Amino acid sequence: MQTLDTGDIARQLADLKLEHRDLDVAIEKISADIRTDELQLRRLKKRKLRIKDMIAVLESRLIPDLDA
């Protein structure tokens, strides 16, 4: 796994959060359509969940390890 500095992690985090918000909008728009493509909707929701997990991992990497 490649070691990233705090700046790189913060940039990736910002990009993922933006994509997560964009998927929110897309999912809402598709859900409102009567002719909803259920497969596409499921794929978008899965992608959104993967991004949420990636965000959590990156956020945890920004928290310094504290040895007790």
What pTM value is reported for the model?
0.81
Non-local CB neighbours of 20 within 8 Å, separated by 6+ positions: 48, 51, 52, 55
pLDDT band for 57, please (50, 70, 90 cuts). very high
pLDDT band for 67, please (50, 70, 90 cuts). low
67 belongs to a structural domain: no
**Nearest by Cα to 3 from 65, 61, 66:** 61
> Each residue of 2-40: pLDDT tens digit?
567 889 999 999 999 999 999 999 999 998 988 888 999
21 lies in which domain range? 6-61
68 belongs to a structural domain: no
22 belongs to a structural domain: yes
Q: How many domains is the chain partitioned into structurally?
A: 1
Contact 30, 40 (CB under 8 A): yes
pLDDT for position 26: 93
